[in-house]
Amino acid sequence: MLPCNVTEPSNGTEVVVDCTETNLKYIPPGIPQETTNLTLTINHIHSLNSSSFHGLDNLTEIDFSHLFLWDVWYIYHFLRAKLKGYKRISSPGAEYDAFVIYDKEDSAVIEWVMKEMSVQLETSGDRRLTLCLEDRDWIPGCPLIHNLSQSIHKSKRTVFILTNRYIKSGNFKTAFYMANQKLMDEKDDVIILIFLEKVRGGGFPHHTAAESFIFYSLCQRVSDFIKMGDKPDISEVQAFDKSKLKKTETQEKNTLPTKETIEQEKSA
């Protein structure tokens, strides 16, 4: 028996399954296939992937907030990946250099990604990259979770194009979880953040301490992100080291910085 509440609004367009505080350790079987909204807050789930949602082709929104064991497990494995440094990555199924994810409801961002960023990165310079873009490469009619999972795991890096509005969205949160799952699996930095504007109000509101910790830990690595002005200029992306997207099979393990190096960086 499904230990969740199932609600179908009178308009019949949405089916909401609420599994809040039901002591779940995994996604329970029996969730209706027509489910559009799934709430998993306050549970003990510590592992999620696309197969967890097999058959739920109509899912458009998933709420992961406050998964207790997930928070602890997440921080532990994130730190473990960071402290181990780089390791050799085989990327057996990698078809793309990077999967670019951005706000699909922001026309200005869409135009910049499709007409400037992707054009310059894929067609200019000696190092031409192969990008995976939702508007161009996703399979029409395929479930959101499946498309996200396939794009992340078939790409060597995941690039987040961030704005204040997008950071607060459910789609960003879902993709962020899945990309970090890959980081933990491969023990390597696989995420690049591009800020199109300054993040306001703490930057990561209404999210768990673990999520905020992971997000800001990523932001502390200068090599992992770039900041851009109010009017994005593709030259800033071109100036960003493309080799960040290319370091895969031959990448050597990094040693942790020495105390002297840290002191030099602080005084710089």
Same domain as 31, residue 114 = no
How far, in Å, CA of 51 to CA of 133, rounded?
Answer: 22
Torsion angle (degrees, nearest 10) of CA 92, 52, 164, 82: -50
pLDDT, position 197? 66
Last residue of a domain, one of 40, 63, 86: 63
**Side chain identity at residue 31, one-letter code:** I
pLDDT, position 210? 46
Please tell me the least confidently modeled range out of 104-108, 140-144, 175-179, 207-211.
207-211
Same domain as 201, residue 110 = yes
pLDDT at 227 over 60: no
Q: Look at phi and psi of residue 23 and say left if phi exceeds 0, alpha if psi is from -120 to 50, else beta.
A: left
Same domain as 106, residue 51 = no
C-alpha distances out from residue 156 to 104, 179, 181, 182, 191, Å: 22, 11, 13, 10, 9
Domain range enclosing 13: 5-63
pLDDT, position 50? 56
Same domain as 222, residue 103 = yes
Handedness of CA 213, 215, 216, 220 (dihedral sign): positive
- Residue 83 belongs to a domain: no
pLDDT at 133 over 90: yes
Same domain as 128, residue 198 = yes
Same domain as 138, residue 29 = no
Mean pLDDT of 204-214: 47
Q: How confident is the model at residue 266 (pLDDT cuts 50, 70, 90)?
A: very low
Answer whether 68's CB lies under 8 Å from 44's CB. Answer: yes
| 225 or 46, higher pLDDT | 46
pLDDT, position 49? 59
- Report the percent of the chain where pLDDT is more than 70: 54
pLDDT, position 160? 86
pLDDT, position 113? 86
Same domain as 170, residue 227 = yes
pLDDT, position 248? 44
Retrieve residue 191's tokens. Answer: 């995420």
Q: How confident is the model at residue 259 (pLDDT cuts 50, 70, 90)?
A: very low
- Residue 265 belongs to a domain: no
Same domain as 115, residue 59 = no
Spatial strand order of the sheet with 16-18 comes to 5-7, 16-18, 37-39, 61-63
pLDDT digits (tens, 9 = 90+) for 55-77: 787 777 777 665 554 444 444 44
C-alpha distances out from residue 178 to 52, 84, 93, 182, 243, Å: 12, 20, 16, 7, 23
CATH of the domain at 113: 3.40.50.10140
- Residue 59 belongs to a domain: yes
Same domain as 171, residue 109 = yes
Instruction: State the total domains in the chain.
Output: 2
pLDDT at 81 over 70: no
Q: Residue 255: how many CA atoms within 13 Å on its side-chain side?
A: 5
For 257, residues 6+ apart whose C-beta sits below 8 A from its C-beta are 265
- Report the percent of the chain where pLDDT is more than 90: 5
Same domain as 195, residue 117 = yes
- Residue 34 belongs to a domain: yes
Same domain as 211, residue 103 = yes
- Residue 188 belongs to a domain: yes
For 97, residues 6+ apart whose C-beta sits below 8 A from its C-beta are 129, 130, 131, 155, 156, 157, 245, 246
- Residue 17 belongs to a domain: yes
pLDDT digits (tens, 9 = 90+) for 95-118: 898 899 999 888 888 888 888 888
pLDDT at 204 over 90: no
pLDDT at 125 over 70: no
pLDDT at 221 over 50: no
How far, in Å, CA of 253 to CA of 261, rounded?
Answer: 18
- Residue 177 belongs to a domain: yes
